[in-house]
Amino acid sequence: MARFRALDLDNDPFIAFWEVTRACALSCVHCRAKAQPKAHPLELNTDECIRVVDSLAEFDAPPLLILSGGDPFMRRDLFQIVEHARSKQLTVAVAPSATALVTEERLRKLVDLGVSSVSFSLDGATAETHDSFRGFAGTFDRTLRMMSFANECGMPFQVNTTVSRRSIDDIRQMAQIMADNGAAVWDLFFLVPTGRAAQDQVLSAGEHEKVFKWILDNAGKWPFRMKTTLAQHYRRAFVLRRMQAHQLEPVPEEVRPMIRDGWPGPSTNDGKGTMFISHLGDICPSGFLPVRAGNVRTDDILSVYRQSPVFTSLRQPSQLKGKCGYCPFNDVCGGSRARAYAMTGDMLATDPTCAYEPIGA
């Protein structure tokens, strides 16, 4: 917790997502990247990837580096990139797709290179629901085998689950799957309608609140760590429950420090502690907020993160519009900037999926 609070998110990103390729053998219905069977001919080459690693290592507090895609195992030089990142003392995690490329041997290689964790995706409690989501039969069973491989290798793994209208009925059953298969972290990713993801699959504000309540009621009972992605308003629900236990009201200005102290993790958001690098080198606030602020081929990554108007505006709660602008939780939460952009066209607009109504402008 102390490390989180010591972070200067204006200066250094907490986490960097790097889409090393868009090549992937799957065709998931929610895919942000609209992944394709073959790599783009202009994706970053090995030398360029090495330079990206070198640049990320120059941050005062280098970010956690997530190598994603597409499917990162579609790159023949993945291990070379990982090895160089580890030589620069970067903490590295890898997010492969559930294909035959994920073998116990390859996971052991990642362990040997010092990768901290891998993440797998599971979007249904049964083969029927998950496989229809992923676009190929057999991916549910393959994902469970991948979890077994990771356990055999001693590799901690996170499971990512997309929360949408397609998956919401399976969420409760999936908690037991996480426990039975030894997941270290279960990350509930709340859908943003970008790429292949359809807006009618996004949960309503009220439905978000119901899932938040379920998490808060049950997280302490699970043997794995629970987290959310692109549900910044879960932090508000978390802090509110703590404050209500102490009979505090989040209205007076003097309560704001209590709100900040009530959230134990980093208060990241798109462009605030988070950055994204595409397979073509574009630098964006996140993969779900595809507003280009620069490109690694022509721009300095540190300067883009620290000085680009795209990034700096996202780090200023006073720039937020509507109720997000005056909400007492906007420093801890701030609403999903990616969802606001996807659903309104304005990355600073109010998050349409937040049910909380702060008092007065």
Indicate the pLDDT class of residue 255, thresholds 50, 70 and 90.
low
pLDDT 10s digits, 20-54: 999 998 877 777 767 688 899 999 999 999 999 99
C-alpha to C-alpha distance for 85 and 261, rounded to whole angstroms: 33
As a whole number of angstroms, the distance between CA 340 and CA 285 comes to 13
**pTM of the model as a whole:** 0.93
CATH number 3.40.50.1010 given to 2-344? no
pLDDT tier at 244, thresholds 50, 70, 90:
confident
Q: How far apart are the first and last CA of the chain?
A: 32
Highest-scoring range by mean pLDDT, 112-126, 192-206, 243-257: 112-126
For residues 192 and 162, the answer to whether their CB atoms sit within 8 Å is: no
pLDDT of residue 251: 55
Residue 127 has pLDDT above 90, yes or no: yes
**Pairing relationship of beta strands 294-295 and 282-284 according to DSSP bridges:** antiparallel
Angstrom distance (rounded) from CA 296 to CA 10: 19
- pLDDT at position 33: 64
The CA distance from 315 to 290, in Å, is 16
Whether residue 326 has pLDDT greater than 50: yes
Q: How confident is the model at residue 325 (pLDDT cuts 50, 70, 90)?
A: very high
The ranges assigned to domains in the chain are 2-344
Kindly indicate the confidence band of residue 227, based on its pLDDT and cuts at 50, 70 and 90: very high
For 188-204, what is the mean pLDDT?
A: 92
Q: Is the confidence at residue 136, as pLDDT, over 90? A: no
Partners of 15 in the beta sheet? 64, 274
How many whole angstroms separate alpha carbon 26 and alpha carbon 98?
8
CA 322/CA 352 separation, integer angstroms: 10
- What pLDDT, on a 0 to 100 scale, did the predictor assign at position 5? 46
Asked whether residue 74 carries a pLDDT value surpassing 80, the answer given is yes
Confidence band, pLDDT 50/70/90 cuts, at residue 350: very high
pLDDT in tens, 50-71: 999 999 999 999 999 999 999 9
The contacts of residue 83 (CB under 8 Å, 6+ apart) are 113
Residue 243 is predicted with a pLDDT of: 80
Q: What's the average model confidence in pLDDT over 218-233?
A: 95
The pLDDT score that the predictor gives to residue 252 is 52
**CA angle at 239 for the pair 238 and 240, rounded to the nearest 5°:** 95
Whether the per-residue pLDDT at 250 is higher than 70: the answer is no
